[in-house]
Amino acid sequence: MVVILLGWRRRWTYYGLTWWAIGRSERPTNPVELIAALADEGTAIQEAWIRTNDTPTLTKQHSEWITRVVGLLRRKLDTSYEIQFKNAHGSAMICPEGHSIEGCGYWQDINGKRDALMAILSELRQRQ
């Protein structure tokens, strides 16, 4: 996942994401920015699976993504957000046509967890 910020170019990996910062001398620390990037990464994982139907890759990316999100929520927020994220699941009624049933489960889980991240973002923005 690549995130572009404004300013001069600088690259680093932070919480498992590759950041190309342009004009920023420090790593992003704002939880809203970090959570938004991870939510966007979840979408990218889903879209890649839709294109490829590569379930082993989806399974691996799903696990790695969840680990990164849980770590971020634990370090930057509190346990209640981590629990909210872990307990979110997608709708079992939705599966892209022609895709594996196993992959659909992971795809749906990412969808539900991404929705939970969006709810967390909304709450954090209201506090600002």
C-alpha distances in angstroms, 103 versus 29, 69, 108? 33, 20, 9
- What's the predicted TM-score (pTM) here? 0.75
Paired residues of 13 in beta bridges: 18
pLDDT of residue 101: 87
pLDDT digits (tens, 9 = 90+) for 53-104: 999 999 999 999 999 999 999 998 889 999 999 998 877 777 878 888 889 9
pLDDT of residue 97: 82
100 sits in the region (left: phi over 0; alpha: psi -120 to 50; else beta) called beta
Average pLDDT, the chain: 81
